[in-house]
Chains A and B, each alone.
Chain A
Amino acid sequence: MIAILALASIIMTSALYVTSQIIVLGSFAELEEKNVQQNVGRTLSALDNEFTDLSSKTGDYAEWDETYNFVQDANEEYIQNNLDAPTWANLRVDVAVFVNTAGQVVYGIVFQPDMTTAPLPQSLLELLSANDTLWYHPNLESRITGIVPLAEEPLLIASRPILTSFHEGPIHGALIMGRFLDSEEIEYLSQTVHLPLSLSRFNDPETSSDFYAARQSLSKDTPVFVQPLNADTIAGYALLTDIYEDPFLVLRATMPRDIYKQGEASVFYFLAALIGTGVIFGITVMLILEKYVISRVDRLASEVRNIGKSKNVSEQLSWDRTGSNDELSLLADAIDSMMEERLKAIEQLAAMVGHDLRNPLTGISNAAYFLRMKIGAKLGPRAIEMLDLIDKDIEYANKIVNDLLEYSGAIRLELSESNPKAILKEALELVKVPANVHVVDFTEDKPKIKVDVDKMRRAFVNMMKNAFDAMPKGGKLIAESRKARDKVEIAFTDTGAGIPKETLERLFTPLFTTKARGMGFGLAICKRIIEAHGGKISVESTVGKGTTFTITIPIEPKLEGGDKT
């Protein structure tokens, strides 16, 4: 039973585990992806801010009369006053390029982290001369920002037309400022968005495998891609195009999988709660089953077993069914009625056997009678003895049949009024008291009792016969009666051999006998007769001293209709 419950719980829990994995964790995974996309979006905004910042700083210098002049005359003074490394490092500008309207670089400089300056890298110069993407401004409001795909480092640039301080033209060229997207800049962005960021070139053949996977999925149409790196970390990838709108860089933002872990924890707590509830529920069910079903079934089973062991075929369950109408009580009723049916069948069988045995007994008895009548006078003493033996055995066989019928059948009491002394007197007439036994009658003719006199007499006869059998060498049988409240006790005490303890225990069992002859129905029938009257029979014995059988019966049996099975 426990095994079945446990198995059911395991199956149920597993099913729920799978379901919750799919449904709950699925939702959490979706939520996580959304969160990653948002973070990637935040990172891209931070990058946008960089462009805005760069563009505004570029604007500060591009719309200035001194710059307006410098791009025309390239005076040394401007360089001296304005283009010193510390100032530009402070502005986080790495590159400044002044281009005139013809596309010629008037002046270009790189501010290095160590506060020194360097000439423009060759690759940038080549790009500037190759086309006008970086410096051509068709009107005063024109602004160019983007990533320039330099071989050394990607370069974020902002380009503004060079105007007067009053934002007036004509345009005298373009000022381009650049910021290298180097590890320092990545670090800066990381701190801004509070996420670890890293960068890989789109066509870097030696990139790591996760970048490689991202690269397969990213395109201009799907600029963001999300994939978990391991159980603890998830990454979002964004595709960055260069200023010529070609795929150039892949930006990766990694973050802890808090949401997913929260989901896992939720599922775990849910299952733990479920298992806990299941265990408590299971224990409760077991306790209830134990109290209302199992213990009662056990009790019923043990009663049925006891009845099985008991030799009393008319025994019924003592199972209390008052007020309860459940299946178990119905079962108890069914068992009782089954036993009643079986008892009836035994009665019928015994009656049939009894009747059928009596026919051959009749034949034997009649034949013996005929022989005795016809040739009795001519027979010798030994032959006569044989005829006597036949008669005696017929009588004995008949008694066995009677006992069988008596024991198997229901006892129906036919009550009439009498008293202990009268019944004993009648019983004494029916037994042959051995010459060496002295019967002492101490019974009283009071109180009047209502009994089935015929059956009670039989019980008395049986008691006395047993006593005589116990005293083969003679002795004394004392019969006495005593009124005890609403009951009468009648005791038969002999001075016989006594009964050993192990025999006492089985004394009232049918078919148990210590006599050489006898079926052992006698005491069992006595017991049934007494019990049918609502009384009981008890025995006390001391080996070597004698035995006392005590019959206790109510003065008036409380039996409905004087009938009991």
Chain B
Amino acid sequence: MKERARILVVDDDESVTKTFKVILEENDYVVDTVECGREAIEKTNKEFYNAVFIDIRLPDMDGTELLTAIKETTPKMVKIILTGYPALQNAIEAVNKGADAYVLKPPKMREVLNMLKECLQKQQEEKRLSEEKVADFIQKRAKEIGKGKLK
């Protein structure tokens, strides 16, 4: 059986985190929720997540700050910004700071789920690609070594 993807939702509003959790779990994801940037950093350091939803405004920091903070430790994680400001510059800033996508509040959940799925698929593909590369490399080296040994 395929391993279930792990999602972290960072928002200080309970109705946001709770409904995200319920819907995502219903779609077969494992979901954790935290309320602030500090908790999010701790959580991502301790555990692995495939994707994170970050509210642009958190009680202790800006969503973009959190993006920068966790980019170093978890470069592969899909990062999605939740924003209540539809302005273009917010989106630009979010993407520049390392967001993979951004979601306007209130979100159209069907689209969000589709987008999440796509992002995770891409992530999986990349993972597989790099795994294949590693496997290829090992194989190649093994052959070379084998040849060498044969020689």
1/0 per position for B73-85, CB-CB distance to A under 8 A?
Answer: 0000000001011
Closest to A454 in B: B88
Q: Which residues of B contact A373 (CB under 8 A)?
A: 23, 26
Contact A366 B23 (CB under 8 A): yes
> Does residue A363 face the partner (Cβ distance < 8 Å to B)?
yes
* B107 lies within 8 A of A366 (CB): yes
Given contacts A361-B106, A362-B15, contact A354 B23 (CB under 8 A): no
When C-beta atoms are compared, the residue in chain A nearest to B110 turns out to be A369
B13 and A362 contacting across the interface, CB-CB below 8 Å? yes
Q: Which of chain A's residues have a CB closer than 8 A to the CB of B11?
A: 359
- CB neighbours of A369 from chain B (8 A): 23, 109-110
Q: Confirm or deny: B20 has a beta carbon within 8 angstroms of a beta carbon on chain A.
A: yes
Q: Which residues of A contact B110 (CB under 8 A)?
A: 369
15 A-B pairs whose Cβ atoms sit less than 8 Å apart in the complex: A355-B57, A355-B85, A359-B15, A359-B84, A361-B105, A362-B105, A362-B107, A363-B15, A363-B19, A365-B106, A370-B22, A370-B23, A394-B106, A402-B86, A414-B88
B57 touches A398 (CB 8 A): no
CB distance from B71 to the nearest CB of A (A): 24
Is there contact, CB below 8 Å, between B23 and A362? no
Residues of B within 8 A of A (CB): 11, 13, 15-16, 18-20, 22-23, 26, 57, 82, 84-86, 88, 105-110
Check if A351 is an interface residue, CB within 8 A of chain B: yes
Please name all residues of chain B whose beta carbon is closer than 8 Å to the beta carbon of A360 when the two chains form the complex. Answer: 13, 15
Q: How far is the CA of A454 from the CA of B18 in the complex (A)?
A: 35
The 7 closest A-B pairs by CB, nearest first: A363-B15, A366-B19, A355-B84, A358-B84, A358-B105, A365-B106, A359-B13
Q: A374 touching B109 by the CB < 8 A rule?
A: no
Are B107 and A363 in contact (CB-based, < 8 A)?
Answer: no
Complex alpha-carbon distance, A365 and B86, angstroms: 17
CB of B143, distance to nearest CB on chain A (Å): 51
Interchain CB contact under 8 A, A363 and B57? no
Tell which of A370, A414, A454 touches B26, judged by Cβ atoms closer than 8 Å: A370
Known: A355-B85, A370-B22, A402-B86. A365 touches B109 (CB 8 A): yes
Q: Chain B nearest CB: distance from A529 CB in Å? A: 15
Minimum C-beta distance from A515 to chain B (A): 23
Overall SS of chain A's interface: helix
Give Cα A288 to B88, complex, Å: 54
Q: How far is the CA of A359 from the CA of B107 in the complex (A)?
A: 10
A interface, how many residues as a size bin? Answer: 20 to 34
B102 to chain A, nearest CB (A): 13
Closest CB of chain B to A53's CB: distance in Å?
A: 123
A359-B105, A361-B105, A394-B106 known; A367 and B86 CB under 8 Å? Answer: no
Q: Which of A355, A370, A402, A454 has the most CB of B within 10 A?
A: A355
Complex contacts, A355 vs chain B, CB 8 Å: 57, 84-85
A residues in contact with B57, CB < 8 Å = 355
In the complex, A355→B110 CA distance in Å?
Answer: 22
Smallest CB gap from B19: residue in A: A366
* Residues of chain B with a CB closer than 8 A to A317's CB: none
Chain A residues numbered 338-375 whose CB sits less than 8 Å from any CB in chain B: 351, 354-367, 369-370, 373-374
0/1 per residue, A443-481, Cβ < 8 Å to B?
Answer: 000000000001000000000000000000000000000
Quick one: which of A354, A357, A370, A414 contacts B19, CB cutoff 8 A?
A370
Given the interface contacts A359-B16, A363-B19, A366-B107, does A374 sit within 8 Å of B26 by beta carbon?
yes
Given contacts A351-B85, A356-B84, A366-B16, 10 further A-B contacts (CB under 8 A): A359-B105, A361-B106, A362-B19, A362-B105, A363-B19, A365-B109, A366-B107, A369-B110, A373-B26, A402-B86
Distance of A373 Cα from B107 Cα, bound (Å)? 15
Q: Across the two chains, which residue of chain A brings its CB closest to B13?
A: A359
Which of B23, B82, B105, B106 has the most chain A CB atoms closer than 10 A to its own CB? B106
Cβ-based interface call for A405 (8 A) = yes
Do B107 and A365 have beta carbons less than 8 Å apart?
A: yes
* Interface contact B26-A363, CB-CB below 8 Å: no
Residues in chain B near residue A357, CB distance under 8 A: 84
Closest residue of A by beta carbon distance from B21? A366
**Cα–Cα distance between A356 and B84 once the two chains are bound (Å):** 8
Are A362 and B106 interface neighbours, CB within 8 A?
A: yes
**Minimum CB–CB distance for A364 against chain B, Å:** 7
Complex: how many Å from CA A405 to CA B85? 9
Within 8 Å CB of A454, what residues of B? 88
Residues of A within 8 A of B82 (CB): 362
Closest to A357 in B: B84
With the chains together, A366 CA to B20 CA distance in Å? Answer: 7
Contact of A366 among B86, B88, B109 (CB under 8 A): B109
Chain B residues with CB below 8 A from A366, complex form: 15-16, 19-20, 22-23, 106-107, 109
CA distance A373 to B23 in the complex (A): 9
Q: Which residues of A contact B26 (CB under 8 A)?
A: 370, 373-374
> Which residues of B are found within 8 Å of A361, using beta-carbon distances?
105-106
Nearest chain B residue, comparing its CB with the CB of A374: B26
Q: Name the distance in Å between A363's Cβ and chain B's nearest Cβ.
A: 3
- Residues of B contacting A405 in the complex (Cβ-Cβ under 8 angstroms): 85-86
Chain B hits for A398, CB < 8 A:
106
CA distance A180 to B54 in the complex (A): 136
Contacts of A370 in B (CB 8 A): 19, 22-23, 26, 109
Closest to B18 in A: A363
Question: For residue A414, which residues in chain B have a CB less than 8 angstroms away from its CB?
Answer: 88
In angstroms, how far is the closest chain B Cβ from the Cβ of A491?
Answer: 29
Given the known inter-chain contacts A365-B107, A366-B109, A373-B23, please indicate yes or no for A354 contacting B84, CB distance below 8 A: yes
